Structure 1
Amino acid sequence: MREISIPALDNNGSFNAHVATPEGAARAAIVVIQEIFGVNRGIRQKCDKLAAAGYLAIAPDLFWRIEPGIELDPDVDAEMQQALGLMGKFDQDQGVADIEATITAARSHLAEGGKVGVVGYCLGGRLAFMTAARTDADASVGYYAVGIDGLLGEADAIAKPVLLHVPKDDHFVGPETQAKMHEGLDDHPMVTLHDYAGEDHGFATEVGNRRSPEAAELADARTMAFFGEYLG
């Protein structure tokens, strides 16, 4: 485990990214996109799991323009409120550009032709969808992505496989929004949605009160099979 520095595409600085490396040559790389809580312990554990499966995992600090190095705990109310405030300040278009810079950095660490995927959670799930539409990522996964109904106009730009995990009882993404997601994406040849009955936002977190182990393990197994098929 280490950190690398990645130059921003707009030449306005650079940002750190947490890196977990596999033993031996990486089968591919995966950019791990944070929740609104920063690159915290749970995101680092996601990276560790991917590295154990043979992937180079890189989690960029997407809040660096607001405050570098933010790590928050969603189970602490004051920190949850701080995280919601950060989301309001965050420029999502710049965030996708920073993810694109991270994808480029990841490709530089692979053999020629190596593939790079992305996986994101909450805000990161939304950014993963945007990344699929706007970059050359080879495969994208979003967990409990927020506000996808407002991004359906970008779906036609998605040319590589996308997987979305949708908890049916998500208190941030209500039934109407979920219905719009299915209406707009079920017929898309590159997009697959999996619903999780009785599950709430954050069910696949690595640590904390939100985790729902059985559903998390099912979603993660589907994610690994997806990456195995499309990244190698």
Structure 2
Amino acid sequence: MSDRIDIPTADGAMPALRFLPESGTGPGIVLFQEIFGLTDYIQARAADLAALGYVVIAPEIYWRLDDSEIDYSRDDAMQQAMGLMQQLDWPTTVGDGVATVVAARNDEHIRGGLGVLGFCFGGGLAFNVAASTAVDVLVSYYGSAIPGLLDFAGDVTAPSLHHFGLADDFIPVDVVERIHAAVDREGVRFETYDGAGHAFDNPDPTFHHAEASAAAWRNTVDFLATEFPATR
């Protein structure tokens, strides 16, 4: 079950989708998209999290752009998505992420804390948001911006789970190791997956690695149940 809501920002209302668990209330998770936007895949993961008992809010991060539509019938869909991401101003985007956290804290359906979770572009955004405002938990899937954000690692104090594939053309193994060294502390879980490339959780055959996707989701469910349970 999902509905559309507005997130207040200094520049107007940012649209978002809210997914409710069967109970109608629960701890909150702000879910940040990949570069492709709030696709069916991201909405399916939001529904998966809601089925676990969380209230999920997924902001439309491209809301400031004049044209954020991607034509998936074209061979250059990836280039279209990269072009959209490159139009974003990163500090403003982080501010929109923080605004979503603030709005979620005031959401009548959210009870029992708030976490952030993101995929790819959204994994880096979730990391930066967790460094900028207090959250109860962070889950980042192959956060593509994290290599440039490691100076903020000490500001991320929430229990955290990071997922990285070891066959990622965008984040090579030596960079994964550097990220691990920077974020490593008590309360941080760092999982890597042999043979998995970038965006391995995305079901598109171009990206999908079935074993890594299933293992990472099991690890995510286990981590959330331990560090941020939906029922307390």
Cα deviation code 1:7-64 (max 9, x no counterpart): 11xx111111011111114331111100111111111111111111111111100111
Q: Write out aligned runs for 1:34-49 (5 A).
A: 34-49=33-48
Letter in 1 for 2:14: F
1:69 CA drift (Å): 5.9
8 Å Cα contact 1:132/1:162 also seen in 2: no
1:108 and 1:59 map into 2 onto residues whose CA distance is: 15
Residue aligning to 1:26: 25
1:227 CA drift (Å): 1.6
Cα deviation code 1:48-92 (max 9, x no counterpart): 11111111111100111114764564x853221011111211122
8 Å Cα contact 2:31/2:118 also seen in 1: yes
2:57 and 2:198 map into 1 onto residues whose CA distance is: 23
Q: Which moved more, 1:18-27 or 1:80-89?
A: 18-27
1:193 and 1:32 map into 2 onto residues whose CA distance is: 19
Structure 2 residue matching 1:104: 3-state secondary structure: helix
Q: Write out aligned runs for 1:70-149 (5 A).
A: 70=69, 73=72, 76-110=74-108, 114-149=112-147
Q: Which runs of 5+ in 1 are unaligned?
A: none
- CA RMSD, Structure 1 to Structure 2 (Å): 2.0
Letter in 2 for 1:12: D
1:42 and 1:230 map into 2 onto residues whose CA distance is: 25
Is the counterpart of residue 216 in structure 1 residue 213 in structure 2?
Answer: yes
1:64 and 1:212 map into 2 onto residues whose CA distance is: 30
Letter in 1 for 2:6: S
8 Å Cα contact 2:124/2:144 also seen in 1: yes
Residue aligning to 1:66: 65
8 Å Cα contact 1:39/1:71 also seen in 2: no
Q: Which runs of 5+ in 2 are unaligned?
A: none
1:114 and 1:21 map into 2 onto residues whose CA distance is: 14
Structure 2 residue matching 1:118: 3-state secondary structure: strand
8 Å Cα contact 1:107/1:114 also seen in 2: no
Structure 1 residue matching 2:76: 3-state secondary structure: helix
**Where has structure 1 moved over 3 Å in runs of 4 or more?**
67-73, 110-113, 206-209
Closer, same or farther in 2 for the Cα pair 1:23/1:219, shift >3 Å? same
8 Å Cα contact 2:126/2:140 also seen in 1: yes
Structure 1 residue matching 2:61: 3-state secondary structure: coil
Cα deviation code 1:71-127 (max 9, x no counterpart): 564x85322101111121112222221121211222222578621111101111111
Closer, same or farther in 2 for the Cα pair 1:28/1:140, shift >3 Å? same
2:209 and 2:66 map into 1 onto residues whose CA distance is: 31
Percent of aligned positions that are identical: 35
2:214 and 2:151 map into 1 onto residues whose CA distance is: 32
Q: Give the TM-score of the pair, scaled to structure 1.
A: 0.90
